[in-house]
Amino acid sequence: MTTDINTKLFASVPDADGRFGVYGGKFVAETLMSALSELEILYRRLADDPEFQRELDEDLAHYVGRPSPLYEARRWSDRVGGARILLKREDLNHTGAHKVNNTVGQALLAKHMGKRRVIAETGAGQHGVATATIAARLGLECHVFMGEEDVRRQALNVYRMKLLGATVVPVTSGSRTLKDAMNEAMRDWVTNVDDTFYIIGTVAGPHPYPMLVRDFQCVIGREARAQSLSQTGRLPDALVACVGGGSNAIGLFHPFLEDESVAMYGVEAGGHGVATGEHAAPLTAGTPGVLHGNRTYLMQDEDGQIMHTHSVSAGLDYPGVGPEHSWLKDVGRVNYVTADDAEALAAFHDLTRTEGIMPALESAHALAYAGRLAATMTPEQTIIVNLSGRGDKDIHTVADIDGIDF
């Protein structure tokens, strides 16, 4: 047990107003303020309710299939050289990504609030699929907002959602990607706030979402910490996770924040290279601002307009990031770095060939950086990479890039 002063620091956020230092908060139209308060009050009550926790744990065990394995990727570790690399296999969850940890939790909240309809935004489609899945199970009406551009590049997930009974609404405004899907979901919520629960898929949005999504995703890090101790006899030297909105990263990092010896790396999408301006790396190359209900690092121009982003992976193609990451960057606890499209694609192929595990392109960004990091470390050291999702959904994107036409 640590007695470090940091214990207090990391447990102190968010504060009562939903702030992580200067980040976070509730920057939404007045119409939504009471819905957010209602959600916050309910969540604070249920978070301490053993019956709710039992329900959640049961779903995570028997519906999601947790715990997910911590798998040592020996062949891939040998190939990149240096440290031992362990993969937290969130790709093995039901629906194929970490997103379901959160949708199961929020759907339980929706049920407790008596809402008959859920909505979600989605980029790569993983959160949309996870929401449509839990909606099917609970018999809730489900609308998923998805940028037109993402509908095109994630056709498989769009069809999955339709099979699950969800309505997928293509969003044609703005850059037609994740940020615009989130705008549209907010517009739907403000209109249907009486009967609708908005299941936000990442640790962004207005308070209490960054807090409750984090809490639901922390199961990743809690398991990984215990698995590391039992499988390797020690804590890892480093954690690596990709950061779009940042839910899989916060889920892995948060339970380790007080473990001073554990270094942490959040990997943003470098796109065509940070120097080109065509990327999705607000923590690396952005400045603080206000978007989607919270203050956080953003990709914005000199007039405070939100910029278009680029990443080969739809799930990272977002100009903002969860406010807790902004805070963790400023306090210096987590290092935020980038991997570009080409590096992610190379890692995608590498892991597939050496381990028989096909990672999501989002997770491939984490792998790419972990490979670089491992090479600077020793074989006695270990790295845990969050393999946040499986790559089936990206096969078309990868085939396109490789010039293969089905």
Q: Considering only residues 34, 167, 261, 276, which one is a binding residue for another protein as defined by CB under 8 A? A: 34
For another protein, the binding residues in 259-288 under the rule CB under 8 A are 287
Q: Considering only residues 3, 48, 114, 303, which one is a binding residue for another protein as defined by CB under 8 A? A: 303
Stretch 39-78: interaction string toward another protein, x if CB under 8 A: ----------------------------------------
Single-letter amino acid, residue 368: A
Residue number, 266 or 289, with CB nearest to another protein: 289
Provide, rounded to whole angstroms, the least separation between the CB of residue 341 and another protein.
24
Q: Considering only residues 7, 9, 33, 392, which one is a binding residue for another protein as defined by CB under 8 A? A: 33
Q: Considering only residues 27, 156, 235, 285, which one is a binding residue for another protein as defined by CB under 8 A? A: 27
Residue number, 91 or 317, with CB nearest to another protein: 317
CA distance 302 to 396: 36
3-state secondary structure the chain: CCCCCHHHHHHCCCCCCCEECCEEEEECCHHHHHHHHHHHHHHHHHHCCHHHHHHHHHHHHHHHCCCCCEEECHHHHHHHCCCEEEEEEHHHCCCCECHHHHHHHHHHHHHHHCCCEEEEEECCCHHHHHHHHHHHHHCCEEEEEEEHHHHHHCHHHHHHHHHCCCEEEEECCCCCCHHHHHHHHHHHHHHCCCCEEECCCCCCCCCCHHHHHHHHHCHHHHHHHHHHHHHHCCCCCEEEEECCCCHHHHHHHHHHCCCCCCEEEEEEECCCCHHHCCCECHHHHCEEEEECEEEEEECECCCCCECCCCCCCHHHCCCCCCHHHHHHHHHCCCEEEEECHHHHHHHHHHHHHHHCCCECHHHHHHHHHHHHHHCCCCCCCEEEEEECEECHHHHHHHHHHCCCCC
| Number of amino acids touching another protein (CB under 8 A) | 39
Question: Residue 169, interface with another protein (CB under 8 A)?
Answer: no
Provide, rounded to whole angstroms, the least separation between the CB of residue 288 and another protein.
8
Residue number, 31 or 53, with CB nearest to another protein: 31
Q: Considering only residues 289, 371, 389, 391, which one is a binding residue for another protein as defined by CB under 8 A? A: 289
Provide, rounded to whole angstroms, the least separation between the CB of residue 171 and another protein.
11
Provide, rounded to whole angstroms, the least separation between the CB of residue 187 and another protein.
5
Stretch that binds another protein, among 3-11, 137-145, 226-234, 294-302 (CB under 8 A): 294-302
Question: Residue 183, interface with another protein (CB under 8 A)?
Answer: yes
Q: Considering only residues 143, 254, 279, 292, which one is a binding residue for another protein as defined by CB under 8 A? A: 292
CA distance 219 to 213: 11
Give me the sheet containing 23-27, strands edge to edge: 19-20, 23-27, 293-298, 287-291
Stretch that binds another protein, among 139-147, 218-226, 301-309, 379-387 (CB under 8 A): 301-309
Question: Residue 371, interface with another protein (CB under 8 A)?
Answer: no
Provide, rounded to whole angstroms, the least separation between the CB of residue 308 and another protein.
9
Stretch that binds another protein, among 30-38, 65-73, 209-217, 379-387 (CB under 8 A): 30-38
Provide, rounded to whole angstroms, the least separation between the CB of residue 290 and another protein.
4
CA distance 118 to 116: 7
Question: Residue 179, interface with another protein (CB under 8 A)?
Answer: yes
Provide, rounded to whole angstroms, the least separation between the CB of residue 305 and another protein.
4
CA distance 13 to 1: 20
Residue number, 193 or 235, with CB nearest to another protein: 193
CA distance 161 to 155: 10
Instruction: Provide the token pair at 156.
Output: 């498989």
Q: Considering only residues 100, 119, 186, 264, which one is a binding residue for another protein as defined by CB under 8 A? A: 186
Q: Considering only residues 20, 23, 32, 128, which one is a binding residue for another protein as defined by CB under 8 A? A: 32
Closest CA to 130 of 88, 98, 178: 98
CA distance 200 to 183: 12
Q: Which residues are catalytic?
A: 99, 121, 388
Residue number, 77 or 309, with CB nearest to another protein: 309
Question: Residue 190, interface with another protein (CB under 8 A)?
Answer: yes
Provide, rounded to whole angstroms, the least separation between the CB of residue 179 and another protein.
7
Residues that bind another protein (CB under 8 A): 17, 25-35, 173-174, 179-180, 183, 186-187, 190-194, 287, 289-293, 295, 298, 300, 302-307
